[in-house]
């Protein structure tokens, strides 16, 4: 640009060697193939370890990659903790991991033994701030919150809103608006809605159920709270 003239910029693909990609379960195709494409485009060989928590996707990736890609350069390794641990014991030229901080520390520690560069894409906390002093459209605001939390894989995403920060006086109005718009999105019985994603497996369902049944939470649910494990 004029502001940096006469400088120039370019993307340089530098093949590092063999890359290990460990992907997550919440977006099992995207978070598997996106880093694999980048690694291939840069000239690397790749081993992909899909998440065992999304077994159907993992099996399909193994099948399709085995049939349509050069298996001397690109392989899929299926499995759970044991297989992942065995992979991490090997020497890689780069590791790309998407997931939680606990496993991220394990990946980083394993990579450090070989001074392997690592990319960690980890979830965090995503607050929503609703300023009661600004002239906001409450309907638009609540619809955006709902789309980000429930509409985006039913909250099973690292950037979904985790909590809302607002004033004590404004909170009841915001809660009422959320109730109205949630019903507009998913109907009076959201368990029957075809537009609401399901929880990925029984273990995660049990974890969320435990949170809802906690003494500090159960008495403060103002809308919803119904659950049905048979409809996962």
Catalytic residues: 121
| Other residues' Cβ atoms within 10 Å of the Cβ of residue 215 | 6
| Other residues' Cβ atoms within 10 Å of the Cβ of residue 42 | 15
Rounded to whole angstroms, the Cα distance separating 19 from 197 reads 32
Rounded to whole angstroms, the Cα distance separating 38 from 41 reads 5
Instruction: For tokens 């008495």, name the residue.
Output: 219
Using CA atoms, how far residue 137 sits from 144, 160, 172, 204, in Å, is: 11, 21, 16, 35
Cis amide linkage into residue 71, ω under 30° from 0: no
| Other residues' Cβ atoms within 10 Å of the Cβ of residue 223 | 12
């Amino acid at each position: 640009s004029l502001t940096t003239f006469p400088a120039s910029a370019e993307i340089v693909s530098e093949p590092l060697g063999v890359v290990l990609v460990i992907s997550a379960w919440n977006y099992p195709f995207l978070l598997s193939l996106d880093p694999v494409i980048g690694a291939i485009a840069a000239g690397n060989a790749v081993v992909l370890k899909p998440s065992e928590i999304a077994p159907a996707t993992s099996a399909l990736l193994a099948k399709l990659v085995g049939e349509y890609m050069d298996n001397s350069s690109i392989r899929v390794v299926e499995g759970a903790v044991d297989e992942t641990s065995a992979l991490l014991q090997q020497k890689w030229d780069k590791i790309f991991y998407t997931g939680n901080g606990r496993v991220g520390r394990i990946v980083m520690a394993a990579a450090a033994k070989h001074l392997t560069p690592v990319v960690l894409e980890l979830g965090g906390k995503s607050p929503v701030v609703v300023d009661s002093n600004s002239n906001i459209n409450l309907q638009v605001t609540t619809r955006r919150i709902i789309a980000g939390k429930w509409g985006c894989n039913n909250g099973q995403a690292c950037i979904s809103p985790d909590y809302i920060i607002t004033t004590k006086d404004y909170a009841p109005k915001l809660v009422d608006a959320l109730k109205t718009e949630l019903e507009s999105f998913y109907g009076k019985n959201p368990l029957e809605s075809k537009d609401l994603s399901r929880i990925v497996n029984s273990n995660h369902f049990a974890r969320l159920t435990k949170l809802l049944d906690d003494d500090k939470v159960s008495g403060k649910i103002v809308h919803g709270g119904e659950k049905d494990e048979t409809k996962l």
